[in-house]
Structure 1
Amino acid sequence: MLLCLTASHRSHDFTLLESLSGGAGAVLAESLLAGDDVAGGIVLGTCNRFEVYLDAAPEAVGALASQAAPLSLLTGEDAARHLFAVAAGLESVVVGEPEIAGQVRRALNTAEASATATPLLSRVFSDALATRRNVRERTGLGSARPSLIRLALDLASHRVTDWPAMKVLLVGTGRYASSCIEALRDRGVSAITVWSPSGRGHDFGARRGLDQVSGHAVAAAASRADVIVCCTTSSELVIGPELLEGACPVTAHAAAQCPVGHPEVGERHRVVIDLGLPRNVDPAVADLPGVELLDLEAIKLHAPLQHLAVADDAEAMVRQAAAAHADDAQQIGPAVAALRSHVTDTLEAEIGRIRHRYDEATADAAEAALRHFAGVLLHKPSVRARELARSGRRDEFVDGLHAVFGIDRPA
């Protein structure tokens, strides 16, 4: 059955979310997936949520919920409905934000590549993404490209009256950095300098026609910047008071300190936007004269209410899609399970023969490849089974299993 263990900005504090995104979540997910009663799992981590979706035996629910405390537990149709709402952007800090769909898709792709996505999990994630597309097309939710960075820039506008004149330092070169650049350029900002604290995004700026700094040049760029936007995946703080006051950063890639002097700031105002989870910016920067810090907690407090009619329509579509998904699973689930059992039995027999004929290292490599291949092989028939069930042609799939594989009709 489908389980969802979840912690998000709606139900848990940011201290826990920081801990889960900083490495504790990976340890927890690995522990959950190692359970004997767990067939597979998909981890969905974003800047305001950490969730693990599991395909697990019903009798394991209590133990898994206890193991994952204080995460909240959802099961069956409730878990599917929650995922559908997440993918549609209804559970985001900014309702309808477009980035979440890509994050859901990447979580599914990662799990399929590592062979932890079972047919049940692949099916519910695929249905969630399809529902998201339907919601956007029919309600327009998300079509205005709302996002955390756009909301943060809106909030910063009470201090920034002339965006085209602003000098911006963008800290981070990951996937979300591109969205930040797009949002800044939409406001007319052209003076954008990029810093990659990890040192891995050395050509990120060049590809986008932007200046990029590293080492000693970072302090000068930070001193000149009117706005600093941080969106790295670093588990450590990368911006602190000392950097804004003129000292060079100390990182794994720039170990030397290089005081460049303290700039004369006068009545100058600066805005620091921290979109990182764990946080990228030391909260102490807010104590500096003329510096305003907007972090995820502050942004959440100002998240705007959406048009109620649009949100209501989207939520109704999510409920209907989740119910349809549950009906499909009930109708076709036993047949898909029978096919999966047939393939698994054949797989285990072949793995047994390999282990009798080859050394352990060769057998381990072959087993990993075969298990991945089996997952890929089962994906398309599982999707096709769902499509047939929706169109009232379940019996065609069941009869096909019997004719091709000799699998008896499920009860």
Structure 2
Amino acid sequence: MLLCLTASHRTHDFAALEQLSGDAGTALVDALLAADGVAGSIVLSTCNRFEVYLDVAPHTLSSIQRLRGPLTLLRGEEAARHLFGVTAGLESVVIGEPEITGQVRRALNRAESHGTATPRLQRIFSDALATRRLVRERTGLGAARPSLIRLALDLASHRITDWAEQKVLLVGTGRYATSCLEALRDRGVQAISVWSPSGRGAGFGARHGLHQVSGHAVAATASAADLIVCCTTSPELVVGPALFQGQCPVTAHAAAQCPVGGPHSGHRRRVVVDLGLPRNVDPQVVDQPGVELLDLEAIKLHAPLHHLAVADDAEAIVRQAAAAHAEDADSVGPAVAALRSHVGDALEAELTRVRRRYDPETAEKAEAALRHFAGVLLHGPSVRARELAGSGRRDEFLDGLSAVFGIERPA
């Protein structure tokens, strides 16, 4: 049985999400995995949601109900439909934002590397990612690259008129920092410095052509900045009032407080964007003269209404794809696995031929293309199999496999 335990910006406040992104969420996941009958799990934790997807035996449902804490419980097709909607960007603060696709893919990869992703969970996450591509191709949703950082920069525009003249301090060097950097450069920002509280700023700065700051220089750079964008995964507050008073922040990676840095600039107007969960910025920074804070709660209040017709079309695609994961469709699982194995064997044989015939670089590109094509090719029959099983036509699919591919009925 597929279960989803979820808390998001739509159902919980950001204080609750902040707790779940830390020790409370870790303890909850540990308790769930210890329950009898839990075969596997995938955890999806982002800046506006915390979700646990479980593959469980039916008798485990009552135990999960007792352990779920503040999370909402979804099961079967409803859980699948939720995951597909999340992956398509329909559940995001900014509808269609692209970052969620990478977050879902990384959640699957982490679970696979830790050995907690069962075949059922792998299949549904793979289908969700394939459906995201289908939604974008058919509706265009997500093609315009909306995102939290782009919305935050829109909101900051009432204070910033000439982006090319702005000095920006980017705090963080993770994957989302790259998206933030792209959004800033799209607006014409050139003077961007990067600070990594964890000490990884030098590598990030070198890769992206940024000025990297650390130690005493952090306070001076922050004092001169018109905009500070925070997107670290640090569990600590890394930006606070002291930074605007010319002092270096004290974190687990800084042993002592730095002396006063640049000149006090209390009369300057500047914007601080906090995209962290847990939050990166102490809310008390707004007590400093001229400082405006745009955190996740403030950004959510200004999230634009999405185009209803496009969203309706996307939701229809999501519903149809998720229907293939109804519980009464599980009986075709072994047959679908046999089809995937059949195609996989043919693929590996072709890849062996390609590797013998072409140079390594060409072979690598060909392999990536062929594996992508095989995934696309298998997606349709996989969905169709579960649709037929859900409508009582399982035997038609099994007979078709036997007639076309010579795949016998699974025992």
> What is the TM-score of this pair, normalised by structure 2?
0.83
Matches within 5 A, 1:334-345: none
Could you tell which deviates more after superposition, 305-314 or 92-101? 305-314
The alignment partner of 1:276 has SS state of coil
Question: What stretches of structure 1 of length at least 5 have no aligned partner?
Answer: 340-378
The one-letter code matched in structure 2 to 1:333 is G
Q: CA deviation at 1:111?
A: 1.1
Q: Give the deviation of 1:225 after TM superposition.
A: 0.7
Deviation at 1:384, TM superposition (A): 10
> Structure 1: which amino acid aligns with 2:52?
V
Whether 2:122 is the aligned partner of 1:119: answer no
- Root-mean-square deviation (Å): 2.7
Aligned with 1:145: secondary structure?
A: coil
Q: Secondary structure at the match of 1:202?
A: helix
CA contact (8 A) 1:227 1:270 kept: yes
| Partner Cα distance (2:57, 2:338) in 1 | 16
Amino acid corresponding to residue 198 of structure 2 in structure 1: S
Distance 1:193 1:334, change over 3 A: same
Taking the TM superposition and a 5 Å limit, the aligned residue runs for 1:70-219 are 70-219=70-219
Give the stretch that moved more between structures: 311-320 or 69-78: 311-320
SS of 1:203's equivalent?
helix
Q: Structure 1's 402 and 58: CA in aligned 2 closer, same or farther, altered over 3 A? A: farther
Matched, 1:317 2:317: yes
Q: TM-score, normalised by structure 1?
A: 0.83
CA distance in 2, matches of 1:193, 1:13: 32
Which one of the candidate residues 389, 395, 404 is aligned to 2:385?
A: 389
Structure 2 CA distance for aligned equivalents of residues 202 and 35 of structure 1 = 44
Tell me the SS of whatever aligns to 2:22.
Answer: helix
In the TM superposition, what is the alpha-carbon distance from 1:36 to its structure 2 partner?
Answer: 1.9
Offset of residue 34 of structure 1: 2.1
1:216 Cα deviation from its structure 2 partner: 1.3
Contact 1:385/1:397, CA 8 A, preserved across alignment: no
One-letter amino acid of the counterpart of residue 394, structure 1: L
| Counterpart residue type for residue 35 of structure 2 | G
Deviation of 1:333 after TM superposition, in Å, equals 3.0
Q: Quick one: distance in 2 between partners of 1:148 and 1:258?
A: 32
One-letter code aligned to 1:217: A
What is residue 27 of structure 1 aligned with on the other side?
27
Q: Displacement of 1:275 after TM fit?
A: 0.1
Pair 39,327 (structure 1): closer, same or farther in 2 beyond 3 Å: closer
- Local SS of the residue matching 2:326: helix
- Alignment check: 8 A CA contact 1:215 1:253 kept: no
Aligned-residue offset at 1:401:
13
Cα distance, 1:107 vs. partner? 0.8
Q: Does 2:288 correspond to 1:292?
A: no
Bigger shift: residues 46-55 or 257-266: 257-266
Q: 1:57 to 1:338 in 2, by over 3 A?
A: farther
| Post-superposition offset of 1:13 | 1.0
Contact 1:87 1:104 in 2 (8 A): yes
Task: Give the 3-state SS of the residue equivalent to 2:6 in structure 1.
Answer: strand
Structure 1 CA distance for aligned equivalents of residues 284 and 326 of structure 2: 49
Quote how far apart the aligned CAs of 1:334 are.
6.1
Distance in 2 (alpha carbons) for counterparts of 1:220 and 1:299 = 28
- Cα contact 2:87–2:101 (8 A) shared by 1: yes
Distance 1:50 1:389 in 2: 31
Residue identity (%): 72
- What secondary structure does 1:236 align onto? coil
Q: Which residue of 1 aligns with 2:391?
A: none
Q: Which residue of 2 aligns with 1:282?
A: 282
Tell me: CA distance 1:184–1:17, structure 2 relative to 1, closer, same or farther (3 Å).
same
- How far the C-alpha of 1:388 sits from its partner, in A, is 7.7
Alpha-carbon shift at residue 22 of structure 1 (Å) = 1.8
Is the 1:241–1:285 Cα contact (8 Å) retained in structure 2?
Answer: yes
Structure 2 counterpart of 1:4, which letter?
C
Indicate conservation of the 8 Å contact 2:39/2:56, yes or no. yes
Post-superposition offset of 1:251: 2.2
Q: Structure 1 residue 383: deviation in Å?
A: 7.7
3-state SS of 1:193 partner: strand
Shift in CA distance, 318/384, structure 1 to aligned 2, threshold 3 Å: closer
Structure 1 letter corresponding to 2:143: S
SS in 2 for 1:43: strand
Worse overlay, 394-403 or 67-76: 394-403
When residues 332 and 160 of structure 1 are mapped into structure 2, their CA distance, relative to the original with a 3 A threshold, is same
